Chain A
């Protein structure tokens, strides 16, 4: 079966610096892939490359079987939903209207119906009529997740969707993404919390300085060697009651 997303040897540059230096990865149906790596490793750039938002120096980004550059905007929007890291919403729209922006080609009533279902799904049904400027950061994050879930695309790309959220909201977001994958969709999500990544993902792709250094089942990809070389962490995984737990410490120089 063909992948929903495929990056093949992707090189992207900002000025002279390569932010992506020959990245290859793929996401298939029913699969949740976590993208991990330190700040500046190229996680957001990889996601944006998959959406065709970053000009590529070389390599190919494909959505379904098509080069993303050959797809019209509408076709791209039909193949991939995007939940950006940025959570600023310019105007004080009610949550339901923000969520409904996930379905710009549906009639107003249909879009609102889906928006309501998505808000319920993320536990924000009671916020439907509230203006997003009157919400906490966590509430706004739920509304934006609902917006991404309203998009009926087979693939969902989420850029650090749990950054800055309380533990309950973090687990809720990941649970929704997992449910999306279990229902047959593909999900690529960048995460800094390695324990949560290991718990929720089918595979972890580790990026470092624009290169893929590991792509495997979570505990395997985040091996002690990778933790040490990429994240500067000592230690490793221990078996917890709900899955593997990362028992890590910061390495001092010379360790």
Chain B
């Protein structure tokens, strides 16, 4: 069996185990009889806990993590930069701005409106990036533009806090910005799943171009592959994935940055082959992180975004320390 396939199968198996764990374990301890009842009658009380609370939450974490892992891998390849993450181009900040605006305007009462606003924010950022990328080719220029967009969207979000009429709305925005998959239902899964599929299709289209870009912009442009088309596909893939992740779970950091690094050595650096393992690794990371956050004996449940940053940052520093020897930057 080839090593790339076994990597993906290994990750998939680990995800399956993590999902089973996420459905079986939680704050409410169930007896063996209750587990039996939940399996036999999904509509029973214990069944509800397993199939309507824990399962959709775990699947949501999986898909959001996969979207972040995919977006991170695409952007690191596109920008030829191991430090790139979905946040760097401003898509997550713009999506968060959309959601924050919608919450303050009272849209939270209408199902789907906050999610839609986040997606619209991500889409606008994506279109802007595509337009910029058509004019400038240097990845540095795109990063600088993304940083500016991110700061600007962040400033507007702060302005919303500033001008928010009620502290309740502010608290709600704050809560949402910290990132979580708590109380997510199958409806939320239905939001993120199609977006993930769309992002995957675009990413697959960009994959050969991302590999070619390993040689640098000049050589890639003369290779016969269309780099312009690749850039558009890659930017759309990452904007859709990141937008959907933010729409459903708020802002969750570090997964998009760290997931590609976890699997890069296993695909020997190939940015095309990195995409699916990175998505799987991102999904696995978030399912495990959410399970850990739930099982943590704290009064207030830890927010997933807070948890991933707390655990992810030191872990990432360690990965970076090891990987730095290979990059020879």
Contacts and interface: CB of A to CB of B under 8 A. Distances in A.
Given A90-B214, A92-B326, A93-B214, A76 B222 contact: yes
B214 A101 contact: yes
A244 B251 CA distance: 68
Given A53-B221, A76-B222, A92-B268, A133 B328 contact: yes
Interface in B56-75: none
B264 to A, nearest CB: 8
B214 A82 contact: no
Interface in B187-222: 208, 211-216, 218-219, 221-222
B80 interface: yes
A88 B223 CA distance: 16
Interface string A125-168: 00000010100000000001001000000000000000000000
A91 B328 contact: no
A73 B224 CA distance: 5
Interface string A85-98: 01011111110011
Contacts of A98: 214-215
Contacts of B222: 51, 53, 76-77, 80-82, 84
A210 to B, nearest CB: 20
Interface residues of B, number: 25
Nearest to A147: B215
Contacts of B44: none
A97 B211 CA distance: 10
Given A104-B208, A131-B268, A90 B216 contact: yes
B271 interface: yes
Contacts of A80: 222
B39 interface: no
A198 to B, nearest CB: 28
Given A73-B224, A80-B222, A91 B270 contact: yes
Given A97-B270, A104-B224, 9 more contacts: A48-B218, A73-B221, A73-B227, A74-B225, A91-B264, A93-B214, A97-B268, A101-B211, A131-B268
Interface of B: 80, 208, 211-216, 218-219, 221-227, 264, 268-271, 326-328
10 contacts: A51-B222, A53-B221, A73-B224, A74-B225, A82-B222, A84-B222, A86-B219, A91-B80, A91-B269, A104-B224
